Structure 1
Amino acid sequence: MPFSTDGYRWTPEEGLKTGVPTDAVIVPQSLNIDADTVYDAIVVGAGYAGLRATRDLSLQGHKVLILEGRDRIGGRTCSVKADGYVYEAGGTWVHRNQALVWSEIVRYGFENRLKDSQEFYEGSRCPTAIRNDAVHEVPWTDQTSATGFAKFCNIDGQMGNSVFGLHQPADWLRHEDFIKWDSMSCQDRLDQIKEDLSAEEIEGIIHLLLALSKGPLTRPSYGEVLRWVALSGGNLASMGEHTARWKLADGQTALALAMFDDALKTGNLAYSFSSNVSSVTTEGHITTVTTTAGQSFKTSSVVVAAPLNCLADIQFSPALDQTKAEAIAQGHTNHAYKVCVEAKGKQWRNWMGNAYPHKGVPFLNGDGINPSGNSYLISTPGNYIDPQNEMDKLLEGLQYLHPELEVLRIFGMDYHSHPLSKGGWAVHGPGYVTKYLESLQAPAGNVYFASADWADVWRGFIDGALESGAKAAWSAHKQLRNASS
């Protein structure tokens, strides 16, 4: 099993080590690159948006070069494999109602290879919450979180659905109510209704919002949270089904590799990994893409599939328009990283631990049982801890959620600190989407932009990355086709 230089692993015996075992590492690191070739398209980034653009353009017969700064594919997804088990150290869940990702799952034969993150184990502990530094059990039958979250979202008697025409997402940006709610933070909404909430309901809302957006609650747009709920069917249980239940048994890396191999088999693909892009310069009909190592490649079109918070590290010439530049400078607000925990025993399989205030880890959720008979748990904390430099604080934060939790192993990815992500999935601030989304989506001449961070529908999700990559690929294909006709 190859090791990526990304991420980290920890055990009590060996301590903290850099790198994780994953099939996502591409060997050899480069193939068929030629500085004298004028490629039809260069794709910057090998996450899902970049892979979709690469695959689609290659299948259309275009000569494509993909440049990726990491040593692996997948971007903010990465399946770690250890002792016969898959630990998802990045984006994980899919749903049949997420049309773009489901079509890829069916295309590559994974539709009968799903696992249920919420499958119930009879011997599991019930959820707990920390109150006044003590562990309190929350019965499975407790509906406080659901009732509180319903009050939080029910602005119209329809859980926000009146704001979102699911078949006309572009209209959201001009919907008077969406503009209103997008201008508010989640904290603004909580302050607006707090007199109608019990202390337990407020606690439940905060726990949920910390899981969704990392906090503080002044950061995320309330309109963006409403969008997630509306897309999922309008209630908390359905949102859990859509966003945190079904995962690929073989891991997200297996799907990403299937897409990459599809492009490779066309014979139209060249690639270079560990090649970070520093500049994109267009003169006339030709664009030159230059790496930080000083390599330059020429192309007729470019798809920049880098995360929003990394676009400022690429120098564009001509300069990007003012609105797009403002959007890039502001970026999104989710400074998350991913923690995969192996804990001793099966009793943590369905346990959910929450804490607010917390010691750097607001929550930890059971996700499976590995072949050793131990529980697999996950968390995506915000930038409260630097895990690769403060492992003692990470362990303290995990232990605080339940003193009986015995941590045997950790795999993790610090997406917040990584220079090629600078954050987790996109969570936009108040007013950001209304002001900047269309500008982020717009091309700059023959340079197209693709990322889940500015997708129309499942923004921040794997499905959104595939949507954005497909659109960018089609736009580049049309440009290339028109130029040759």
Structure 2
Amino acid sequence: MNPSIHYDAIVVGAGYAGLTATHELVKAGKTVLLLEARDRVGGRVHTQHFDDGTYVDLGAAWVGPSQDRLYALAHAFGVETFKTYDSGRSTQYFRGKVKRYKGIIPPLPLFSLLSLDAAIRRINKLSRTVNLAEPWQTPNAQQLDNLTLADWMQGQMSYETAQTFFNIAVGAIWAADPAEFSLLHALFYIRSGRDLETLMNVKNGAQQERFVGGAQTIADRMAETFRDRIVFNASVRAISQRDDAVQVITDFATYTANRVVVAIPPVLQAAIQFEPALPLQRQQLMQQLPMGAVWKCYAIYDRPFWREQGLNGLAATPDGHVTVTFDNSPKDGSRGILMGFVLGQKAREFATLSDDERRKSAMHSFTTFFGPQASTPQRYLDHSFLNEPWSKGCYAAVPQPGFWTSVGPALRQPVGRIHWAGTETSDIWNGYIDGAVRSGERVAQELLSRS
């Protein structure tokens, strides 16, 4: 790419936010350069393909109701979706016993179940008070932001079993433990994705469908429409603003543009040298947004044998490293693929294990849930974005308590010629691919309104 060209815009990061921003700006006739530190597009969405045609999503994978912007992209680029398999009975492993059940109500003691249901209803009701566009303007925002979600759980559920299973859901939704983020952020995130049931469920929920060919397929096809505008292996080291332009400096070249879109997680933004220095509130913001922690563990079989037993592949347990599983088999069921999540603090513990120890732990969980047939997969693999230098975690940033009311207003606020995108900046479907797409559309409109 020619560094002598003066671009209308430079976009940093080729995840769904950066790709969408680039796509919208190119459609508007702007000269755009997209810089990506990796050798691929997609960011925290990464589909791994094998020679036999099998594929797994190492990062984000699902799409569900009201994720309209992602559905629109899938349609525009000819990517088909299919229902996540959830027919049959789910599995619970608790206190040394495996239980099978139908529907979404787990087989818990009655009073624990009532306590859990009441807590879900209360947090949904409370989430409806959140100001999505400006969470710091929510009634009692300061108090809500100083409390952790764990604090709230202690006050709402007197039954330990109810807290245990609420905690499993928290890990699966946020890839974090409830003591790590504020009640205000929990409420914001819940409302951003409609309600807690939507975030938890497969049917009518955020896990309702997957993409034929994997979730990276849309990103790949979008990138093909402006491949000549992308520079790979181009990690941005510095961004320097002048009155009339902005320079973006990589290891190998310096590029100049009217404006720059930074579409990478805030924790990575902190590694860029900004000249002049960013406002203090923005600097503090980048220090208060650590990433979630998650591993995906995959066991691939010749067929989804659990379906023959009337099981849907969904399982939950507080025990072991893998606490939640899904059936991630392809649409035609030509392979059986179980996917297990390791989440929050357990994910950080999992990261300290050897490859063999991780496999043994995950396979022990799969075998406990689904019987001896699960013990001999054709292939096992696991993956985490924790150690990837261009993500440092997944699914998304998890704001520390006090974040929203202290530095939240700086999240989307442009700094001179620098604009911010990424799923963390979205008020709708924050933390999801759809949120990333929405942020790319928003930031493109910001630039176009100033041109």
For the criterion TM > 0.5, the same-fold answer is: yes
Corresponding position of 2:40: 72
Q: Which residue of 55, 62, 74 maps to 2:23? A: 55
Instruction: Give the 3-state SS of the residue equivalent to 1:247 in structure 2.
Output: strand
| Partner SS state of residue 289, structure 1 | strand
**Structure 2 counterpart of 1:379:** 341
Q: Aligned residue for 2:231?
A: 272
In structure 2, the residue corresponding to 1:91 is in which secondary structure?
coil
Root-mean-square deviation (CA), in Å? 2.6
Please list the CA deviations of residues 365-416 of structure 1 after superposition, one character each: whole Å capped at 9, or x if unmatched.
Answer: 2232575542332425343246597212211321332343324323443211
CA-CA distance at 1:219 after TM superposition:
0.6
**Equivalent position of 1:190 in the other structure:** 153
Would you say the 8 A contact 1:229–1:239 is kept in 2?
Answer: no
Aligned structure 1 segments of 4 or more residues deviating by more than 6 angstroms: none
Q: Displacement of 1:177 after TM fit? A: 4.3
Could you say which residue in structure 2 is the equivalent of 1:354? 316
Q: Cα distance 1:461–1:339, how it changes in 2: closer, same or farther (>3 A)?
A: same
The percentage of counterpart residues that share the same residue type is 22
Tell me the distance in 2 between the aligned counterparts of 1:148 and 1:43: 48
Amino acid at match of 1:394: R
Shift of 1:258: 2.6
Structure 1 residue 233: deviation in Å?
Answer: 4.5
- Confirm or deny: 8 A CA contact 1:343 1:377 kept in the other structure: no
**Cα deviation, residue 159, structure 1:** 3.1
CA separation of 1:371 and 1:363: change in aligned 2, threshold 3 A: closer
Tell me if 1:137 matches 2:81: no
Amino acid at match of 1:139: Y
Q: Report the 3-state secondary structure (helix = DSSP H, G, I; strand = E; otherwise coil) of the residue aligned with 1:170.
A: coil
Cα offsets for 1:45-77 (capped at 9, x unmatched) = 100000011111111111111110111000000
Does residue 454 (structure 1) correspond to residue 391 (structure 2)? The answer is: no
Q: Give, in angstroms, the shift of residue 324 of structure 1.
A: 0.9
1:328-365 Cα shifts (integer Å, max 9, x gaps): 0122341223333324652345233334342x333332
For residue 286 of structure 2, what is the aligned residue in structure 1? 328
TM-score, length basis structure 1: 0.81
Question: In 1, distance between residues paired with 2:173 and 2:292?
Answer: 9
What secondary structure is seen at the aligned counterpart in 2 of 1:154? helix
Query: In 2, Cα distance between the equivalents of 1:192 and 1:47?
Result: 39
The code of the aligned residue for 2:233 comes to S
1:218 aligned to 2:179? yes
For the Cα contact (< 8 Å) 1:342–1:410, is it kept in 2? Answer: yes
Aligned to 1:99: 68
Q: Which residue of 1 aligns with 2:392?
A: 422
User: Does the alignment pair 1:86 with 2:55?
Assistant: yes
The residue number in structure 1 matching 2:222 is 259
Counterpart of 1:116 (choices 66, 70, 83) is 83
With over 3 angstroms needed to count, the CA separation of the structure-2 counterparts of 1:343 and 1:193, relative to structure 1, is farther
Who is 2:357 aligned against? 393
Is residue 310–residue 421 contact of structure 1 (8 Å, CA) maintained in 2? Answer: yes
Residue pairs, 1:7-46, within 5 angstroms: 33-46=1-14
Unaligned runs of 5+ in 2: none
Distance change in 2, residues 1:39/1:458 (3 Å)? same
**CA separation in 2, counterparts of 1:317 and 1:353?**
50
1:305 is displaced (CA, Å) by: 0.7
Distance 1:277 1:155 in 2: 44
- What residue ranges of structure 1 are gaps of 5+ in the alignment? 1-32
User: Aligned partner of 2:449: which letter?
Assistant: K
Say if 1:237 and 1:304 are closer, same or farther in 2 by CA, change over 3 A.
Answer: closer
Change (3 A) 1:229 1:283: closer
Q: How many residues align?
A: 429
2:254 to 293, 296, 308: 296
The equivalent residue for 1:285 is 244
After superposition, the Cα gap between the structure-2 partners of 1:126 and 1:345, relative to the gap in structure 1 and judged at 3 Å, is farther
CA distance in 1 between counterparts of 2:198 and 2:256 reads 50
Q: Which residue of 1 aligns with 2:125?
A: 159
Is contact 1:152–1:189 with CA below 8 Å preserved after alignment?
no
Partner of 2:206: 243
The equivalent of 1:312 in structure 2 is 270
Q: Deviations over 1:280-318 (max 9, x none)?
A: 111221211111x24211111111111122111111111
Q: CA deviation at 1:41?
A: 1.2
Aligned to 1:205: 166
Find the counterpart in structure 2 of residue 16 from structure 1: none
